[in-house]
Amino acid sequence: MTRRRTKSEDEVTPESLYLRRREFIKNGALAAATAVGVGSALSWLVGQAPPPDPPAGVAITGYVPASASPLPPGDATTPYEAVTTYNNYYEFGLDKNEPARYAQGLRTRPWTIRVEGEVARAQTIDIDTVLGWFPPQERVYRMRCVEAWSMVIPWLGFPLADLITRLEPTSKAKYVELTTLADPQQMPGQRAKTLDWPYVEALRMDEAMHPLTILAVGLYGRVLPNQNGAPLRLVVPWKYGFKGVKSIVKIRFTETQPQTTWALAAPTEYGFYANVNPAVDHPRWSQATERRIGDLTRRRTLPFNGYADQVASLYTGMDLRRSF
């Protein structure tokens, strides 16, 4: 994502990655993936079978399973290993395989969430209180990164709408802003000025209240790994992945549109809305197609990441080329 990286995954264009992967397969040179510095996280890219069970993590029991498969054929879930080793979490490093290594020390208990702004009562809530209010449900969603790769992830979480309703925002609340922990001691990436820390994202209230929008607390039936944003992260499946702010410590309701981290860092590249839109390219990445992690060929990107039927009406009358 960043404009400031020198050696990075985003220099590995999807095309060259594809060619390199074919080379790996041809040579049977899986080990070369690490040798050329692409990182061990690529082992699952070269046709390795996914592990039969999530290899680690604390199981979450008693959740409501995803009902009849919500995904069309061809949308198999991405292996657990890929979901948990190919991450964007700049607080723990710029390379995709760094968060899995460096986020393990993040302390996710005790953990509180501050609620403030246009709300009936400002308060600080313990994460376990929140978890007690909302038993997790399984949601299998596509995730499309603005870098033009995608995954399918079986999340566990609860509708953000349920929490918002309980918090009672005032009639002035038009937006909800969510903020990641700021703690350079625990988050070495925050010691560098890569971004304006802490990471902040926000939604318009109708987007936040949409039933597809969830706060995730787990994936693959397990407690959310730190690198994926433990203990609580946002998931908005029709938007680019960068809207999915991780390790949330603050929820603020506002009357005006909040400043968000990537839109602030590069306003011509990242918009507030960030709806997945194959018709509007990013300056460095065509958004017309995507590389589904684990697939050998690219696939077309769908408007609103395939969720147009559910969400397009939120944007009636808006010019989505300008409000990108």
* Residues found near ligand MTE in the complex (CB under 6 A): 1, 87-91, 145, 180, 199, 228-229, 241-242, 244-246
State the nearest-atom distance from the C-beta of 198 to ligand MTE, in Å. Answer: 7
- The residue among 311, 122, 132, 117 whose CA lies nearest residue 209 is 311
- Rounded (5°) CA angle 79-85-86: 90
Environment class of residue 191 by beta-carbon count within 10 Å: exposed (0-12), middle (13-18) or buried (19+)?
A: exposed
The two three-digit tokens of residue 305, written as one number: 């990441």
For 161, list phi and psi in degrees, rounded to 5.
Answer: -55, -35
Pick between residue 158 and residue 197 the one whose CB is nearest to ligand MTE. Answer: 197
Residue, CB closest to ligand MTE: 241
Task: Please state the closest distance from residue 242 (CB atom) to ligand MTE, in A.
Answer: 4
- Integer angstrom CA distances of residue 40 from 100, 127, 191, 266, 304: 11, 33, 26, 30, 32
308's enclosing H/E stretch is helix 308-311
Of the two residues 118 and 278, which places its CB atom closer to ligand MTE in the complex?
A: 278
CA neighbor of 178 nearest in space, from 129, 244, 240, 132? 244
Closer residue to ligand MTE (CB): 41 or 173 = 41
CA atoms within 13 A of residue 60's CA, in its CB half-sphere: 24
The CB-of-163 to ligand MTE minimum distance in angstroms stands at 18
* Min separation Cβ 250 and ligand MTE, Å: 12
| CA distance from start to end of the chain | 16
- Least distance between ligand MTE and beta carbon 68 (Å): 25
Residue closer to ligand MTE (CB basis): 80 or 242:
242
Minimal distance, residue 8 CB to ligand MTE, in Å: 13
- Specify the residue, 33 or 245, whose C-beta has the smaller distance to ligand MTE: 245
Choose between 155 and 175: whose C-beta lies nearer to ligand MTE.
155
CB 283 within 8 A of CB 71: no
